[in-house]
Amino acid sequence: MKRSLDALLPLGWSLVLAVPVGFAVAALVEGHYAVPLTAESFRFARADAAPLLFGAALVLAAFYVHRWHRPRLRVSRGLDLAAIRPGWRRWTVALPTGLRTTAVLLLGLGLMGPQSIHARDKTEIEGIDIVLVLDMSLSMQAADIRPNRFAASKAVVRDFIARRPNDRIGAVVFGRDAYTLMPLTTDKESLQTLVGELALELIDGRGTAIGNAVGTGLNRLRGSDAESKVIILLTDGDSNAGNVSPDQAAELASTMSVRVYSVLMGQSGQAPVRRGTGLFGGALFGRGNYPVNPELLERMATRTGGEHFTVADRDGLERSFHRILDALEKSDIEDAGKVYGELYPAFVGPALLLLILELLATGLLLRRWP
């Protein structure tokens, strides 16, 4: 009976400590952070870290394994020893394990990313909805715009995103077909990161599906309630792929009151293309034949009330985007979101305190002298 009671002591201490510590954490969250602990106001940002909570069970398991393998001494008068009334140390010998178990449980909860959720009131902010449609066909490797068309376009697009803090911006990439890179968002950092990580040949670049690309951008704008909706089409060639013609896409954009601003990179079908590296590390260039169709892009822009630009170098590309920036008026967009506050100190702080108490209990209160 006594042995069974001894075996339950670590679990008992863990439960005894968990109750007041739980109330203390809740009071800290609700008092210091002013967050009511409800399903609507609290969440774990990294709920997939929940297996870390099994660390508390491992601490208990380690105690029992150590207890099972500790040395035993057989004596001839065991009944007389059993009759001796145990002192207070018998009840506190498992206290360090209880402190450690509770601390590990709190650390696991802290690593799960506890956060408060504050609903933000709906406000009206000035901005418009913009979809960037970026060409990723293989012709974008042409080097008439340094270092090449694709690298230059990524740099200018990322700068454009940074200059539109109040707009919702989405992105579509296209080659032989079109794909949504990111739907309309106000998370500019994530969008800039995705654009920066783009590389040619991530998608099939053996074609230029301009109609499909604009159509995909229009799908991103279909649910927009902004008064102004814009597509910025950045390409370097003629449409030669896809099942939607550019004129059909332009007609649909006009029906949806979406303006298309088109930017054509390169003035002719002949452009230098890097072919390799020379003997002394210099770049070797050849000539590539990439047909262009400025009339098509200008027709699309005019049909939708936008504007067309043809650029031959990096400066011209930057100027075209600056002119687009100046041309974009502002309108009101209803923006509602949530603000998340970090609550992990309310869990990690008590856990560290419990670990300090364990060290003090082991080194002072329960220290054994030889």
Q: Please, what is the Cα angle at 329 between 326 and 334, to 5 degrees?
A: 135
Domain count, the chain: 2
The reply to whether 170 falls in a domain is yes
Residues of the chain above pLDDT 70, percent:
75
* Mean pLDDT along residues 211-224: 95
Q: In the prediction, which pLDDT does 2 show?
A: 47
- Are 127 and 113 in the same domain? no
- 58 pLDDT band (50/70/90 cuts)? confident
- Taking only the tens place, the pLDDT of each residue in 169-208 is 999 999 999 999 999 998 899 999 999 999 998 999 899 9
- Same domain flag for 137 and 264: yes
| DSSP state letters, 197-243 | T--TTSS--SS--HHHHHHHHHHHHTT---S-EEEEEEESS---SSS
Whether residues 276 and 345 share a domain: the answer is no
Q: Are residues 192 and 165 located together in one domain of the fold?
A: yes
Q: To which residue do tokens 């009976």 refer? A: 1
In a shared domain, residues 111 and 136: no
Is position 21 within any domain? yes
Higher pLDDT, 81 or 9: 9
The answer to whether position 360 is within a domain reads yes
- The rounded mean pLDDT for the chain is 81
150 shares a domain with 34: no
Together in a domain, 245 and 111: no
Q: Which of 26-40, 78-92, 146-160, 239-253 has the lowest mean pLDDT?
A: 78-92
Does 370 map to a domain? Answer: no
Residue 205: inside a domain, yes or no? yes
Q: Do residue 207 and residue 351 come from a single domain?
A: no
Q: What is the dihedral of CA 272, 275, 279, 283, to 10 degrees?
A: 40
Range of weakest confidence among 190-194, 243-247, 264-268, 269-273: 269-273
pLDDT bracket for residue 54 (50, 70, 90): confident
Nearest to 149, CA basis, from 139, 164, 159: 139
Amino acid 145: pLDDT: 83
**Do residues 236 and 285 share a domain?**
yes
Three-state DSSP at 36 gives coil
Q: Are residues 211 and 245 in the same domain?
A: yes
Residue 331 confidence (pLDDT)? 55
Q: Kindly indicate the confidence band of residue 1, based on its pLDDT and cuts at 50, 70 and 90.
A: very low
Structural domain span for residue 143: 123-335
Mean pLDDT across 136-158: 88
Residue 332 has pLDDT above 60, yes or no: no
Per residue in 288-297, pLDDT (tens digit) is 566 788 999 9
In this predicted structure, what is the pLDDT of residue 42?
79
Q: pLDDT tens digit string along 283-327? A: 544 555 667 889 999 999 999 999 999 998 889 999 999 999 888
Asked whether residue 109 is domain-assigned, the answer is yes
Structure-token pair, residue 317: 């590309």
Same domain, 210 and 310: yes
- Rounded to whole angstroms, the Cα distance separating 24 from 350 reads 9
This model's pTM is above 0.75? no
What average pLDDT does this structure show over 119-138? Answer: 77
Read off the CATH number of the domain in which 263 is found: 3.40.50.410
**Cα 363 to Cα 227: distance, rounded to the nearest angstrom:** 70
Between 74 and 54, the more confident residue is: 54
Q: Do residues 129 and 64 share a domain? A: no
Cβ burial of 208 (10 Å; 0-12, 13-18, 19+) is: buried
Say what the pLDDT of residue 81 is: 57
